[in-house]
Amino acid sequence: MDAIRQVRAVAKREWKSYFDSPLAYVFIIIFLMLAGFFTFSVAGFYESRQASLGPFFTWHPWLYLILVPAVAMRLWAEERRSGTIELLFTLSVTPLQALIGKFIAAWLFLVLALALTFPVVLTACYLGEPDLGVILSGYLGSALLAGAYLAVGLFTSAMTRNQVISFILAVVIGLFLVLAGYPPVTDFFTQWAPSGVVEGIAAVSFMTHYDTLQRGIVDFRDLVYFASVIGFMLFATQWTLRNRTAG
């Protein structure tokens, strides 16, 4: 129970820090504006004449690729730059508890931004009768995708004091995990690589598993994949923090 209280205290501290500065409001406004722009202007939501949120969810991997690292880059880099990370770990808070608390707060913040896109759902319901099961599955996939990007960002933030470097590293890793399952990339490998290799490359990609959820198919293997990515990246972050603070 003491560990849970410590995690809750860190999460509460991080959550409060978002809204004590303009960061939260700027991020939410930018996310909602970009999501609306790509959905209605670029993807032609109205022109498609379909009560489907496919055009809305299609752009999330690319929005998260830039926006989520911008949120995550400060989580550890700022603590290490200012020296407060040592103070944090001396207040009976373990690196794992601090890590989980920060992750939960940041993930809830991203889920809040995602939830504020509900007018898109209302628009689809006004235009027709969308499949609410597919929409809920799409939102689940988007939330898991945001969590995976966030875990990557936490890892890169723990690696360096420089927030810009953390941002760039997170974008590069995220871009690899997206493009690995992108059709043009898999088609390229199909031309010369065995099918098993192509399937293996696609299996590590965010897109392969996100697309399944976006189509309304909640496959246990996709849930395990995202949980595994998040778990692995958090483990790598904890290992990095222990070595950095020990040094």
Picking from 66, 77, 72, 75, the residue whose alpha carbon sits closest to that of residue 35 is 66
Q: Tokens standing for 117? A: 């896109």
- Side-chain-side CA neighbours of 192 within 13 Å: the count stands at 2
Q: How far apart are CA 139 and CA 214, in angstroms?
A: 8
Residues 6+ apart with CB under 8 A from 187: none
* Cα–Cα distance, 59 to 77 (Å, whole number): 28
61 Cβ contact list (under 8 Å, min separation 6): 145, 178, 206, 207, 210
Give me the chain's average pLDDT, please: 85
pLDDT attached to residue 195: 75
Residue 83 has pLDDT above 60, yes or no: no
Average the pLDDT over each of 69-73, 177-181, 233-237 and give the range with the smallest value.
Answer: 177-181
Within the chain, where are the H helices? 2-19, 23-36, 54-58, 60-82, 84-90, 95-115, 118-127, 132-159, 163-179, 183-190, 195-203, 206-214, 220-246
Long-range contacts of 131-134 (CB under 8 A, 24+ apart): 131/52, 131/216, 133/216, 134/52, 134/53, 134/215, 134/216
**Looking at residues 129-137, what average pLDDT do you find?**
90
* Burial per residue of 72-103, b for 16 or more beta-carbon CB atoms within 10 angstroms, e otherwise: bbbbbbbbbeeeebeebbeeebebbbbbbbbb
- Read off the pLDDT of residues 186-218 as tens digits, 9 standing for 90 and up: 777 777 777 777 777 778 889 889 999 999 999
pLDDT at 79 over 60: yes
Locate 116 and state its tokens: 């504020």
**pLDDT of residue 87 exceeding 70:** no
User: What pLDDT is recorded for position 47?
Assistant: 66
Name which residue leads in pLDDT, 93 or 15: 15
How far is 97 from 9, CA to CA, in rounded Å?
A: 10
**Does the pLDDT value for residue 247 go beyond 50?**
no
Residue 194 per-residue DSSP state: -
